[in-house]
Structure 1
Amino acid sequence: MALYPELEYKFEPIMPKVQKGLIVKDVVYLNPDQTPEELTCTVAEEIGHYLTSVGDIVDQDSIEKCKQERRARDVGALMLVTPYDIIDCFDSGCQ
């Protein structure tokens, strides 16, 4: 969140339980009913949408929208765990 101060982050208690986050323009709405780990992942994914998505892709009714969703998730995941992190874990004996 600190890397993207131009975004506003709001906890929205009336969000449906199935929706963890949503970004509209420069406001990230977050469902407060999440564990800290889930919240970290949600914020990273929403920042991924900020960096990669165009338009309203809430309804996943086209291949392009599905591709944008996947791209945002991939970017968010890379913010949290880099390939170097995985290599370090492997080198440390993790399986």
Structure 2
Amino acid sequence: MRYEQLLISSEPNIKIKEKNLEYGFKGIYRNGKIFIDKKIPTASEKTCILAEELGHHYTTVGNIIDQSKIENRKQELKARRWAVKRLIRVEDFINAFDAGIKNRAELADFLEVTEEFIELAIKHFQGIYGVSHTIGNYTIFFSPLWVYKNIE
């Protein structure tokens, strides 16, 4: 899903604005407002950041900037999982395989996300399915990521 599509599909009561952020923040969510750093260089990275900040809107409560607290790290993980669910389906790995995608850089381009987000998605699906997941004639292995097609 592209950045613009996320903007359009967001709830009207969520205000989203691009601005120069300080202290290395790429995105911030607070009280129904999302700020995305203007300096993010790619649409793919903006998409991932926006999805995560939307995840904060739907899943987190309060100020969780202090990641030394376990409760805050848990809320951060919830927001990231929400973002993965919004941007990537496990079947997308099969679609990429069928399209001839050979490595993570190509996969990230194919799915219009960052390689870091691909890694997050793999860990997410591995947490759900374990080592592998079979859909029809395909088996997706998560560590390392590869897709096997059973031809009968």
In the superposition, the TM-score normalised over structure 1's length comes to 0.86
- 1:17 CA displacement: 5.7
Report whether the alignment pairs 1:68 with 2:75: yes
Aligned partner of 1:3 in structure 2 is 9
How many residues are treated as equivalent by the alignment? 94
- 1:7 CA displacement: 0.8
Aligned partner of 1:89 in structure 2 is 96
Q: Is the 8 A contact 1:17 1:31 kept in 2?
A: no
CA distance in 1, matches of 2:78, 2:98: 28
Gaps of 5+ in 1: none
Aligned residue for 2:83, secondary structure, equals helix
Gaps of 5+ in 2: 1-6, 103-152
Please list, as runs of the form range in 1=range in 2, the aligned pairs for 1:1-95 lying within 5 A after superposition. 1-4=7-10, 5-13=12-20, 15-16=21-22, 18-34=24-40, 35-95=42-102
Q: Is the 8 A contact 1:19 1:31 kept in 2?
A: yes
Higher relative contact order (CA 8 A, sep 6+): 1
CA distance in 2, matches of 1:31, 1:41: 12
- 1:32 CA displacement: 0.3
- Structure with the higher strand share, 1 or 2: 2
CA distance in 2, matches of 1:48, 1:21: 12
In the superposition, the TM-score normalised over structure 2's length comes to 0.56
CA distance in 2, matches of 1:58, 1:17: 12
Aligned residue for 2:9, secondary structure, equals coil
- 1:2 CA displacement: 1.7
RMSD: 1.5
Residue 75 of structure 2 aligns to which amino acid in structure 1?
Q
